[in-house]
Structures are given as structure tokens and as C-alpha cells.
Amino acid sequence: MHQAKLTLDPAFKVAPVNRRTFGTFIEHLGRCVYTGIYEPGHPTADDDGFRRDVLDLTRELGISTVRYPGGNFVSGYRWEDGVGPVAQRPRRLDLAWHSTETNEVGVDEFVRWCRKAGVEPMMAVNLGTRGIEAALDLLEYCNHPSGTTLADQRAANGAKEPYGIKMWCLGNEMDGPWQIGHKTASEYGRLAAETARAMRMVDPSLELVACGSSGSGIATFGAWEATVLEETYDVVDFISCHAYYEERDGDLGSFLASSTNMEYFISSVVATADHVGAKLKSRKKIDISFDEWNIWYISRGQDNDPRTDWPVAPRLLEDHYHLADAVAFGGLLITLLRNSDRVTAASLAQLVNVIAPIMTEPGGRAWRQTTFHPFAQASRLAAGDVLRVEPVSPAYETAQYGEVALVHAVATHSEEGGTTLFAVNRSTDEPLSLEIDARALGGARIVEATTLSDTDVYARNTADDPDRIAPRPNENVEHDPMRVLLPPVSWNVIRLA
């Protein structure tokens, strides 16, 4: 059995918990929108065609923001197609995902869904095939009170009050050759800066996100951020990061340590941003919006055969997650929290069906994937301040990342809610006895411990067995000194009060 220990101390404050860390993402991709959040003929559908079962799970998941409408989709999107009478909306070819977009759901429906879910909308503008004018028109349509053609058009479409959307993404993954309207860093930086300046003429209080690299492995990583920020530093608030991880060639050990790469990604972007700030002699700090992150088995979805059909809402990227995926996912979430001083927004990609924590069947059931649980627990229990936690832990050797600690952890603390420790055990074969030193918390003791684990690390949840992998009480707790036994390949939540 492995042995490890850590110290909890409210003096080890990183930053307040950012509620926007628990954001997610809805894109017009596959079945995320159609038969995902929206299915008028479903038995649970409300008067607007939204699935109530999905809304219930969304509230349980505890998301704070939703990024929309993409993603790669936004780089070819004409937002005007998705407003006005549904029967009159055009059907368009979606080049990003080789599908047909019906535009039954657009800006107004999305914001209406956000209101029902109790979440903050986060809008992306098309800087691929369009630019400044279309971004200004969308902003005016969404946020201007009245008295202009576009604001009055919104009111005529049923939304008299402005939407007040504060957070806007200036395009999506413009560094990627796969992106419609792909640009060099200089080309994108100039367009993003001019778009940002124009949008701020409408509303100086907007929070704007410039596109960073779509992965730390892309050839232009680092240089892209430096060039883009030299153009946009004074007019944006965030630079984005996107990262996806998967188990490759049976290398479970490296996969469980995926957060090592995310940590490198974050620290590199922070260093680059601060370098640009110093070069520009600016006191301003650029934060990170990690607005796409998840486990995604990209290698399984490679298809070199050209498609000739243009289906509506095809089944795309519907990964079915197992326990090991949930543990690696939990490690990524811990890393986002550990960097809350600079990662002040994040969006799990995506919400429903497409690499998602929630799965549905058309006309049928909705259920929680394994990755649902770490996100829901962290969103519900993380409160107050994020505390830096540095476990003294055995290490193991990985093929991708070298020597990595078996325990990865973070804690949050508030005077009202107590202290919550989130930890993963990356060991693939042995449990780990974790000793917790909480002397700095006075008389705090463990009041609850749960674990997400299974004898089969590749066990999944299904519509017929939706709770195979779910948090269970961890009865292996000792109080003097405080110890908790963490099963191999497990996500663990320990509450102290």
C-alpha cells in the first residue's frame, strides 16, 4: 500500500473560487443542440421544445456559464439565420462538421434556455468568414435596449429586455488550419483588436477573449500568443486555451497524468502574457479562459473517406466515458482550480452528447456519464478560497511526462462551508493511505468522504445502468491522525468541518 500526506492551511490561499471555472459549452455539432438540449417531440419537452430532463441534469451539474455557438461552427455562422420566425429560417451547409444546419435554435432560443437553466451566456463571434460589422450587429441585437433596428427586431422576436451578455469570444481557434477563415497570428491579432475596439465603443464594460492556441502541441504555440497579445493586450481581458486528452496505446499511467500537460500549458501562456505585458510596460494582467477542455478520443474519430451526405444532427464525437476517463478528468479539474489566480474562466466541451457529461437518446432517456460526477461535486462543494496543496507522495514513471506524483490534489476553504479536499489516486494497482494534517484548521475533522472507483477501471455508465459509476461513501477513514484510504484509479472528495 502506498503512503502519502498533505497539509491543509487557510494561509495557503491561491485565489477565491471562480464560479466561471464551472462553465461549459454548447456548439451546433452533432446532437448537442438537436435531440440534446432541444427536442420538441420529446415526452419531457416544454413549450419551447427544450428537454426538461436535460435541464434538470444541467442544474444538477452546477454549470455557471455556457459558451455558444462554437467552436468550429462559429467560423462560418451567420447569426441572422437563427432569429425570427422559425418556419422562415434558412437551412445552411455547415462546413465545419459536414452537416445541415436547420437554424431552429439560434440566439434567442439559446438565451431563453440559459435563463431556464440559470446560467450566464457567453457568446462567440464569427471572425472566420465575417468580421467587425457582423460582430457589432450581433452585439447590438443582444444588448442594446431599444430604439435601433436590431434592438427593436429582438423585441419583436419576443425579447423586449436586452440580454446583457458580458463575455464575448473573438472567434475560435483561428490558429488551426482546419478552421474556416484560418489566419496567421498577425492577421488574426489585427482583426481581433479592431473588433474589440469597435465592440467597446458600444459597451466598454464587455469582457473579451482573444483566441490563444488550440493546443500546446501545435507548431505555432507560444509565438501565436505573443503576436496576438501584442496587438490586443489593451483591449482584451482573456487569452483562451484549448486542450483535450485521451488514453493512447494502453498507456493508462500517462493518461492519468494528463493534468501535467495542462499545468505546462497554463504556466507557459501565463509567462508569455506577462512577458508581453512587461514589454508594453503595462500593469494589466491578462487572465486565461480555458474555454475548451475535456477527455476526447480524437484518434478514434479520424475518417479519411470524404462524405457526400449533409445530415441534420448526425451522431458525432459521442465518446462513452469509463472510470479512468473520469479520474483523468478530475485531475484536469483539480489543475484548473489550482491555477485560479490566472485561470478565471473555463468551459467544459461540451454539455450534451458530444464528448459530454450528459447523454440522451432521441425520444428516450437522459443519463449521467462518469465524468458528470467530478464536475458536479466540485461545482457544488468548491467555495471560498482555493488552497494550495502540495502532497508528499510516492511517484511513478510515465512514458509521456516522466516522473509524476501518485496524488494530485487541491482544496477550498470558507468560514461558512468548511474545507473540501479534492484528490485523485493515479496508482493503477494499489490503494493509497492519505494522511491529512489539518492542525491549522483548529479542531476540523472529516465529516464526509466519497470516492469514485470500481474494480474495473474501464466500467461505464449506460442508459440501462446509469449509476454503475457514481460517488460512494468511503468508509475507510481514521480520525487520529486523520487518514483516508484512496482506492487505485479514483477520484475522491473529503469534507472537513
H-type helices in 408-493, by residue range? none
**Nearest CA to 175 among 123, 125, 215, 133?**
215
**Can you tell me whether residue 225 is helix, strand or coil?**
helix
What would the grid cell of residue 433 be?
493511505
Residues with Cβ < 8 Å from 187, sequence gap 6 or more?
none
| Helix H or strand E encompassing 210 | strand 207-210
Identify whether the C-beta of residue 340 lies closer than 8 Å to the C-beta of residue 18.
Answer: yes
Residue 292 catalytic? yes
- Please report, as a single letter, which amino acid is at residue 12: F
- Please report, as a single letter, which amino acid is at residue 323: L
- Which residue is it, cell 478528468? 329
d(Cα 241, Cα 263) in Å, to the nearest integer? Answer: 12
d(Cα 61, Cα 318) in Å, to the nearest integer? Answer: 19
Residues with Cβ < 8 Å from 444, sequence gap 6 or more?
8, 418, 419, 438, 496, 497
Q: How far is CA 258 from CA 13, 469, 493, in A?
A: 24, 21, 20
Residue 173 catalytic? yes
Cα-to-chain-centroid distance, residue 159:
28
What would the grid cell of residue 328 be?
483523468
User: Which of the following is catalytic: 101, 173, 231, 247?
Assistant: 173
d(Cα 68, Cα 243) in Å, to the nearest integer? Answer: 18
- The crossing angle, in degrees rounded to 10, of helices 132-143 and 107-117 is 50
What would the grid cell of residue 240 be?
483562451
What would the grid cell of residue 300 be?
478514434
Identify whether the C-beta of residue 160 lies closer than 8 Å to the C-beta of residue 222.
Answer: no
Identify whether the C-beta of residue 32 lies closer than 8 Å to the C-beta of residue 351.
Answer: yes
Identify whether the C-beta of residue 264 lies closer than 8 Å to the C-beta of residue 221.
Answer: no
- Residues involved in catalysis: 173, 292
